[in-house]
Amino acid sequence: MAMFGYAGQILRIDLSTGEIKKEALNPEMANKFVGGIGMSAKLLYDAVKPNTDALSPGNALIASSTPFSGTVLIGANKTDWTSKSPLSGLAQTASSGDFGTNLKWAGYDAMVITGKAEKPVYITIFDDEVRINDASHLWGKDLYEATDELWDQYGDNCTILCTGPAGEKMARISMAYTNKIASAGRKGSGAVPGSKNLKAIVAKGTKGLKAAHTKELLKKADEIYDRYQQDPLLKQWMQLGTTIAIEQYGKEGKAAWKNWRESYPVDKHLSRFGVQEFLKVREISIPCMLCPLGCKLLYNLREGEFAGLETLQSCNVGAVLGYGPKFDLVGYNQVAKCHDTANRLGLDTVEFTAALDFVMELQERGTIDEKVTDGLKLERNLDTVLTWLHKAANREGFGNVLADGYPGIFAALGQELRKDAIQRKGGSPDFDARGVFGTEIFGIAVGVTGAHANFALGPTVIGGREPAWLRRYCQRIGISEEELDRVFSDPSGFNVARLTRYVERWNFLLDIMGICSRPPLARLYNLELITELYNLVTGVDLGSAGLLSAADRGLTLLKLFDISQGATREDDYLPERWLTEPFLVAGKEVWLHDYYNTKRLTKEDIEILLDDYYEERGWDNDGVPMKKTLTELELTSL
Amino acid sequence: MIANKKKVKREGKEFPILVYPEKCTGCRTCQVRCSIRYLGEFNPFRSYVIVARDHGKRTTALDFTDDCTWCGYCARFCAYGALVLKKSVKSGKGGR
């Protein structure tokens, strides 16, 4: 029976045996896990056994599209990439790029790649024709070169996932990219294909797909598009992408340097990385397929250092904060050079810069000397960054340690350094907790996919929002009155742990539907609308409650996966230094405090919040989902 | 701007779109909009709009098949100003 909104098949490729299987999508699975990260969670849990080495053939590289992928619903076209992370040892996911759209148009809702090829290979997926091809001519080439070569061979309508030289060498901080620009995720997404001798995957689908109620769907899609065009910040978003936040972050002290000890001086930040400086190097918008926002961009260095360099950038604010303030770079030309180098090598900017910054601090305070770092003094400048990008990607000298991020540093220099590193689950956070303590900070502690707390990102990322404003937001994302009372009964204004649980559910649902987290796109959708759209696309009415359950089911299943790989409550804390040291903003000490700055937070406070979070999720005090919760989520068979 | 190929009026209409291929990002929204409207499926390969993207040169060639009905529906959803409805220019609403 044809399924509207779904292609109806799951593609399974075992690179060890060369077997390619096309399995019919079970409608019951579609109804329970829907798509995106929900479907990926189920496929990961089933495919990867407990305590599997992430770099072994037993790991799986999974891509899932969503029911909305490839339709005309704007901003709802993302692909979920999932596997066991080589960096955290837990689940890793990314909702990124448009690979899933071509995969779905080719006839597959999801793809599961396991095993390891004997020699380097790449996969081609052209509708029914799926092949494993010799990649000996691509192996060793940088990520841009290899992708361009495949575009030359197969045409520009293909979507291409590719890993770089760092991924080939299984660097745990490597990254794979779709179409050279959309990352397949932090925490080692380049090393997973690398460990399988898989250089790239090329997909093109010409089958298209149909919706159950086309006329009504188009009417709704038009309404959404009209609302999108009314966004007052739209032109700024289209011009700046995530750089829209760069000046605000600088002024709020979110641009950290000296390994999270100080905020970068505001005057330097604005003169080097302000919007006017950015516009000198910005060339054009680069959108994911079917996206009207185009938040990704092309840098073109028209003059100055590295003039003539053109390079692609996805989350620009992340790259600028990663390279710029941390290493005292003098402006966008130097940031662009670093980013271009990292992308070509296939290294993750955030994890690389965090690890290098940490090692610099160790050297600055005398914990390690220059002998450890190949006789080199680590200074905050461009040369140091470029030198260590190449060394890490090539696993040369101490670069062999950096290539594996924080876990590599602990293994080489001592596990006692864990307490000194601003990391959780082997990865770097995005924000410093001592500025604004919202859900995105608590999510760093409890996130099932590690410190990159993308599922906990919510309205509290901006400080000072009134409880009444937050309550209205909560109603839009489907939090019931009873749940709201628990969230907002806290004397400090709201309970950040309990709110995190519901913000995560909402972001999980967006991911399940492939809806982008960029604000001009994400805020077009609310629970009622998503429920209606799912019905119009698929012809299946799961109801709002059914969709929220699917989100909880997916997240809980990833938690069960993490537990199967060894995760415990001990993993669910914030970096210790955030609790014991202040952050210096313009010379002023800022200590960890709650969202409304009513009190300083201690380790005991975090313990209580952790209990609250587990209780709100229906997990026991060890963070293990209780039988009652599994029954409600229909996960007891696991 | 390229010269529009279709000078003749179709069904008494003037070709309703101004085409600026240099602004096209290759997002293919126009194609999917066209295919769902006329063929009932989301499929850029069956669209009456032809989008030929060259990633290397970062250029796009835009054209329309002989089946194109000149309805202008595709242009309504071009966010990058590559396809612009002539009537929206006259009314001052067109072109980003």
Q: What is the pLDDT of residues A487-517, one digit of tens each?
A: 999 988 999 999 999 999 999 999 999 999 8
**Contact across the interface for A72 and B25, Cβ inside 8 Å:** no
Same domain assignment for residues A595 and A448: yes
> ipTM of this model?
0.93
Q: Does A57 touch chain B (CB under 8 A)?
A: no
Q: What percent of chain A has pLDDT over 90?
A: 91
Beta carbons within 8 Å of A607's beta carbon, 6+ residues apart: none
User: What's CA A75's distance to the chain center, in Å?
Assistant: 16
Looking at chain A, which residue has its C-alpha nearest residue B29? A290
Looking at chain B, which residue has its C-alpha nearest residue A148? B56
Same domain assignment for residues A329 and A418: no
Lowest mean pLDDT among A138-142, A250-254, A538-542, A604-608: A250-254
- pLDDT score for B92: 61
Same domain assignment for residues A519 and A618: yes
Three-class secondary structure assignment of A548-564: HHHHHHHHHHHHHHHHH
- pLDDT score for B13: 75
Same domain assignment for residues A246 and A323: yes
User: Bridge partners of A133?
Assistant: A122
User: Which residues in chain B are closer than 8 Å to A207, comparing Cβ atoms?
Assistant: 43
* Domain encompassing residue B24: 17-84
In a domain? residue A219: no
* Domain encompassing residue A369: 354-426
Same domain assignment for residues A34 and A181: yes
User: Which residues in chain B are closer than 8 Å to A209, comparing Cβ atoms?
Assistant: 41-43
Question: Looking at the predicted structure, is the pLDDT value of residue B1 above 80?
Answer: no
Same domain assignment for residues A421 and A458: no
In a domain? residue A530: no
Beta carbons within 8 Å of A637's beta carbon, 6+ residues apart: none
Number of structural domains chain B divides into = 1
Residue closest to A338 by CA, chosen among A353, A351, A354: A353
In Å, how far is A157's CA from the nearest CA of chain B?
7
**Contact across the interface for A210 and B40, Cβ inside 8 Å:** yes
**Contact across the interface for A214 and B54, Cβ inside 8 Å:** no
User: What does the DSSP 8-state code read for residue A204?
Assistant: E
Same domain assignment for residues A492 and A553: yes
**Contact across the interface for B37 and A218, Cβ inside 8 Å:** yes
State the Cα–Cα distance between residues B35 and A214, nearest whole angstrom. 12
Query: Which tokens sit at A218?
Result: 């188009």
- pLDDT score for A430: 85
Looking at chain B, which residue has its C-alpha nearest residue A206? B45
In a domain? residue A225: no
A395: left (phi over 0), alpha (psi -120 to 50) or beta: left
- pLDDT score for A94: 86
DSSP string, A51-76: T--TTSTTS-EEEE--TTTTSS-TT-
The alpha-helical segments, DSSP class H, found in A206-265 are 214-229, 234-240, 246-251
Considering only residues 132 to 151 of chain A, which have any Cβ-Cβ distance to chain B shorter than 8 Å? 148, 151
Same domain assignment for residues A286 and A386: no
In Å, how far is A235's CA from the nearest CA of chain B?
9
Choose one of A295, A320, A346: the last residue of a domain: A346
Looking at chain A, which residue has its C-alpha nearest residue B93? A229
Choose one of A370, A395, A426: the last residue of a domain: A426
Identify the residue among B30, B35, B36 best suited for mutation to test binding to A, counting A beta carbons within 10 A and taking the highest: B36
Amino acid of residue A463? G
b or e along A222-241 (b: 16 or more beta carbons within 10 Å of the residue's beta carbon)?
Answer: eebbeebeebeebeebbbbb
pTM (global) more than 0.90: yes
Q: Helix, strand or coil for residue A21?
A: strand
Choose one of A387, A405, A426: the last residue of a domain: A426
Identify the residue among B38, B51, B54, B55 best suited for mutation to test binding to A, counting A beta carbons within 10 A and taking the highest: B55
Across the A:B interface, residue pairs with CB atoms under 8 Å apart total 79
In a domain? residue B65: yes
Question: Looking at the predicted structure, is the pLDDT value of residue A589 above 60?
Answer: yes
Beta carbons within 8 Å of A33's beta carbon, 6+ residues apart: A39, A41, A42, A512, A550, A553, A554
pLDDT tens digits, B42-94:
999 999 999 998 888 888 999 999 999 999 999 999 999 999 999 887 766 54
User: Which residues in chain B are closer than 8 Å to A148, comparing Cβ atoms?
Assistant: 55-56
Question: Looking at the predicted structure, is the pLDDT value of residue A15 above 80?
Answer: yes
- pLDDT score for B14: 83
In a domain? residue B57: yes
In Å, how far is B16's CA from the nearest CA of chain A?
20
Which CATH number goes with the domain that contains A26?
A: 3.60.9.10
- pLDDT score for B11: 61
pLDDT tens digits, A84-103:
999 999 999 988 888 999 99
In Å, how far is B90's CA from the nearest CA of chain A?
19
In a domain? residue B34: yes
Q: Does A533 touch chain B (CB under 8 A)?
A: no
> Out of A152, A156, A225, whose CB is closest to B53?
A156
pLDDT tens digits, A351-364:
999 999 999 999 99
Q: Does A157 touch chain B (CB under 8 A)?
A: yes
- pLDDT score for A1: 58
Number of structural domains chain A divides into = 4
Same domain assignment for residues A275 and A176: no
Looking at chain A, which residue has its C-alpha nearest residue B78? A292
Considering only residues 275 to 294 of chain A, which have any Cβ-Cβ distance to chain B shorter than 8 Å? 284-294
- When pLDDT is averaged across residues A210-233 and rounded to a whole number, the result is 96
Looking at chain A, which residue has its C-alpha nearest residue B39? A210
> Out of B25, B29, B35, whose CB is closest to A208?
B35
pLDDT tens digits, A264-281:
999 999 999 999 999 999
User: What does the DSSP 8-state code read for residue B4?
Assistant: P
- When pLDDT is averaged across residues A226-236 and rounded to a whole number, the result is 95
In a domain? residue B95: no
Q: Does A586 touch chain B (CB under 8 A)?
A: no
Beta strands in A169-292 (DSSP E): 176-178, 182-183, 198-204, 256-257, 262-263, 282-286
Question: Looking at the predicted structure, is the pLDDT value of residue B8 above 80?
Answer: no
User: Which residues in chain B are closer than 8 Å to A235, comparing Cβ atoms?
Assistant: 96
pLDDT tens digits, A317-371:
989 999 999 999 999 999 999 999 999 999 999 999 999 999 999 999 999 999 9
In a domain? residue A384: yes
User: Bridge partners of A23?
Assistant: A10
Same domain assignment for residues A52 and A82: yes
**Contact across the interface for B35 and A238, Cβ inside 8 Å:** no
Q: Kindly report the average pLDDT of chain A as a whole number.
A: 95
- pLDDT score for B93: 55
**Contact across the interface for A206 and B41, Cβ inside 8 Å:** no
Q: What percent of chain A has pLDDT over 70?
A: 100
Looking at chain B, which residue has its C-alpha nearest residue A152? B56
State the Cα–Cα distance between residues B36 and A492, nearest whole angstrom. 51
**Contact across the interface for B42 and A287, Cβ inside 8 Å:** no
In a domain? residue B60: yes
**Contact across the interface for B42 and A210, Cβ inside 8 Å:** yes
Q: Does A238 touch chain B (CB under 8 A)?
A: yes
User: Which residues in chain A are closer than 8 Å to B52, comparing Cβ atoms?
Assistant: 156
- Higher-pLDDT residue of A68 and B96 is A68
Which CATH number goes with the domain that contains A513?
A: 1.10.599.10
State the Cα–Cα distance between residues A384 and A366, nearest whole angstrom. 18
Same domain assignment for residues A195 and A46: yes
State the Cα–Cα distance between residues A449 and A461, nearest whole angstrom. 19
**Contact across the interface for A294 and B56, Cβ inside 8 Å:** no
Q: Does A231 touch chain B (CB under 8 A)?
A: no
**Contact across the interface for A214 and B36, Cβ inside 8 Å:** yes
Same domain assignment for residues A269 and A236: yes
Q: Does A234 touch chain B (CB under 8 A)?
A: no
In Å, how far is B91's CA from the nearest CA of chain A?
17
Query: Which tokens sit at A629?
Result: 């919760």
